[in-house]
Structure 1
């Protein structure tokens, strides 16, 4: 879109760059069709990509669609580029508003000044996970400019995905709807129709129209617009559950569906329902916070609701522990630098001076608080962290198992352990994204548990002496500093074999 005017003000364009799919497509075939006196559709075809913009007369919205048939076109986002000097934000509050006098800290997209860091990646303070926001925006006294996200059914990453969604600075800000992002990604790149994402304006900075939000919108008026890949509500189904047992208080539970084609989710407070699902067979996952506590298969058919009986969660917290550091919830919440809300590393670089040193003191079970253990361990920064614990006579007479929960492994990072003079066999990488993650505001990866059985012969045979556990990050990769192999920790415990 080379021009976006609202109340005679131009809201598109930065130094020759426009609002567009990815960074622009090049020469394309463009057609315009009217569907009534009130609706027009602009169709753009670029190779195997089909891009549509829909407009309704007198309606302050642009409805944006993208249909990617294959990977020959590397587009996975829509960018609204806004001219400079329309919106001015507080750089101390908005960690994605880059100060003009900052300098590069990492890869040219993380900047710093006087120890503080900013980046377009740092969505954690303002917005957070995909399921936490309906839109991203900039506002002033004259206008509210909102990019309402699509339902992300063919995007990647699931409900907890964190990604760049807004970037500001003196050159003008951007708004994004990201469909697939190759940093910390957890899913395949899904192909097909994405949308609608909606560029939406209000007067005097007023709040957006909530009827546009993907979780509640009625798009039946689009059924006749001949949008390739469009599936009407009558062609969709639903899944519902009568309840969830073994839920723990203090945690949000989420029911989610995914396969290689689509993804959906809904908060589950007991009974739950996921609607608007394209027919197919899906993996159904129940999450306690962000930890998978149930998976099964479910098939959805058009015009019907598939019912599930009560689901019982399998929670690692239920296994009695000799000792435990952290809570099994799929996040590093509560650990060092993750003990505030929102969690600081989701909106600042790990080198930011507002964070406490990652090289924390040794951890003593029964004495040290959870926030005395680092939420991230980097091979090149704070490796070889030590935990001291004591065992009673019964425990000294048997083997035990150490469970090490990892939410994300950067650059092939994974844990290993030694206990006193005994060393565990090194384990292979269970599989994580092969991109930046921990430095771009996300601990979200694939939750894996590494288990190490410690033989009885490893113990120092004394109830009064401490056993010494050393936790280390290993990897075959050799990046340095905060880009070195690293892990984000869910929980660590020791249980009976």
Structure 2
């Protein structure tokens, strides 16, 4: 274990004092002893960064070991707040951690933590009760195969967090040790605090006269795009855990993006929501991987045509290096700023469904203009004989679809998943289940009528948003069976039981011969095909986007 050395700029020598004395005469400053670096922000917050190895990754060098705000301790004394499970447990081939600190100038303090291929920064700015943080790694931490910063705050000091992730008073785990049942039949899990990335700017919890928040940056180093969901909070009998995800394995749809400086800020308030955070001053802090405005470009779109006014649209930019997104404006234009140089795939999303893709190149200090174009891949553009749901990449309009992200499918608040036959022309979208599992609702019926003029070749289109254990639909119409459909490319994690329906949207196009159809009543029977096994809600299954029957082109 390499112990840290306090590094001090020359002009500061006269201002540092021993840790046993006051932090700083002006209420802002850095002190050190053999165990901690102590930073007084001068804004009511004093925090400590551990320098030494206690022989346990729950108290690792580089951890936040103490956070005292307005005289109250907001750090678990037994477990640090840290990246993953401790800086000395990030990489299988590395345990050494180096922690250094300096007062950069009269108004800024920087602590640098190095562990293997990862560097993490804590920064303080005079007069602000905040800890600015940044994390960069050139190789994904491989002991957990993820990267996250987790804050552990005593629950008594910060008791009010998101209800779906508050597991206090639970009656025991019902799935994998991280999904819990409650005495009243409801369910709770850290997974159910999630929100789509594009929908949140901060996460956190509150207590008596305090709010503790983590405010995110543009999330360019994450993977999964604007609609990615992952755990954010967990309230236990001992701690309020607030987790900022940099890269995460649950329901991961694309490769990780190393090499990005990921920035986020811990903010204390009197209980109100955090304000907008200015981080432009980080450009002067000599942070590895920092790219300022001059090193970034802009993408400007003049007009996207062919959109459906009933839905919101998002423009996504993605490459192996970075990701960005922006909303499509009402006039069809869009603008993405602060984009790292490189070649990107530009995707137009109708809600969460990709309906157009094209390539753009971004150059530093320049604007890439995208000429007007019309979306070309919206399944809803074809006339349908009948349709269940909306082609928008989400099951939210289907039965239980609006609850999937907040509770387990077995939750007492869910409507029964096994449903009566769906009758075209009579039933509504809310009558058709958002998900289908082989051992839960393994057979679903759709009844529809055709007249003699409609007995011709048709295409049955089935859209799924995610799948578990290789699950995909099986199709029978009257006495005709379709062939076995291909396995879609999906995340290998549980997805449907951990608060997300987001996977890789897949559209199955089944050609239905005229001989399969009859005049009058027809019955479509949908099942679940898979070569894998599972029990209950962990049996093979998938979530629906939409289903329709369209005439052959």
Q: TM-score when scaled to structure 2?
A: 0.84
What does residue range 20-169 of structure 1 map to in structure 2 within 5 Å? 20-26=82-88, 27-73=96-142, 74-89=145-160, 94-113=163-182, 114-124=184-194, 128-169=195-236
Separation in 2 of the partners of 1:29 and 1:337?
49
Distance 2:227 2:244 in 1: 15
- Higher relative contact order (Cα pairs below 8 Å, separated by 6+ residues): 1
Q: What's the CA shift string for 1:177-217, capped at 9, x where partnerless?
A: 112221111121110234211000112x122112x1xxxx4
**What is the rounded CA distance, in whole Å, between the counterparts of 1:200 and 1:88 in structure 2?**
17
User: 1:323 is matched with which residue?
Assistant: 386
- Aligned pair 1:375/2:434, yes or no? yes
Aligned counterparts of 1:175 and 1:254: Cα–Cα separation in 2: 28
Corresponding position of 1:332: 395
Alignment of 1:269-288 (within 5 A): 269=329, 270-288=332-350
Answer yes or no: is the 8 Å Cα contact 1:30–1:43 preserved in 2: yes
Q: TM-score, normalised by structure 1?
A: 0.93
Indicate conservation of the 8 Å contact 1:123/1:162, yes or no. no
Equivalent-residue separation in structure 1 for 2:269 and 2:236 (angstroms) = 22
Larger radius of gyration: 2
CA contact (8 A) 1:21 1:75 kept: no
Once the 2 structures are TM-superposed, how far is the Cα of residue 123 of structure 1 from its aligned partner? Answer: 2.1
CA distance in 2, matches of 1:72, 1:201: 29
Indicate how the Cα distance of structure 1 residues 449 and 75 shifts in structure 2: closer, same or farther if over 3 A, else same: closer
Tell me which residue corresponds to 2:533. Answer: 478
From 276, 281, 294, the counterpart of 2:356: 294
- Alpha carbons 2:141, 2:147 under 8 Å: kept: no
Distance, in Å, in 1 between the alignment partners of 2:160 and 2:529 is 41
Question: Once the 2 structures are TM-superposed, how far is the Cα of residue 75 of structure 1 from its aligned partner?
Answer: 4.0
Q: Residues of 1 paired with 2:399 and 2:107: CA distance? A: 56
Alignment correspondent of 1:354 = 413
Between stretches 416-425 and 318-327, larger displacement belongs to: 416-425
**Equivalent-residue separation in structure 2 for 1:494 and 1:362 (angstroms):** 17
Aligned counterpart, 1:209: 275
Cα distance in 1 for residues equivalent to 2:226 and 2:479: 43
CA shift, 1:425, in A, is: 1.1
Shift of 1:140: 2.6
Following superposition, the deviation at residue 58 of structure 1 comes to 1.6
- Report the 3-state secondary structure (helix = DSSP H, G, I; strand = E; otherwise coil) of the residue aligned with 1:179: strand
Alignment of 1:383-422 (within 5 A): 383-396=442-455, 398-422=456-480
- CA RMSD of the aligned region, Å? 1.4
Q: Which deviates further from its counterpart, 268-277 or 5-14? A: 5-14
Contact 1:245–1:310 under 8 Å retained in 2: yes
Is there any run of 5+ residues in structure 1 with no aligned partner, and where? Answer: none
CA distance in 2, matches of 1:87, 1:5: 13
SS in 2 for 1:285: strand
Structure 2 stretches of 5 or more lacking a match? 1-63, 89-95
How far is the alpha carbon of 1:72 from its aligned partner?
4.8
1:87–1:102: structure 2 CA closer, same or farther, 3 Å change rule?
farther
TM-aligned CA deviation for residue 11 of structure 1: 1.1
**Is the 8 Å Cα contact of residues 160 and 206 (structure 2) preserved in structure 1?**
no
Distance 2:537 2:420 in 1: 19
How far apart in 1 are the matches of 2:200 and 2:249? Answer: 21
Q: Could you give the per-residue CA deviations for residues 330-365 of structure 1, whole angstroms, max 9, x where no partner exists?
A: 100211112xxxx21110000001110000111111
What secondary structure, in the 3-state scheme, does the structure 2 residue paired with 1:104 have?
A: strand
Question: In the alignment, is residue 220 of structure 1 matched against residue 280 of structure 2?
Answer: yes
Deviations 1:211-253 (A, max 9, x none): x1xxxx4x33111212111111110001011121112122111
- Find the aligned partners of 1:416 and 1:313 in 2 and give their Cα distance: 30
Which of 422, 438, 448 is the matching residue for 2:496? 438
* Counterpart residue number, 2:544: 489
Report how many aligned residue pairs link the two structures.
476
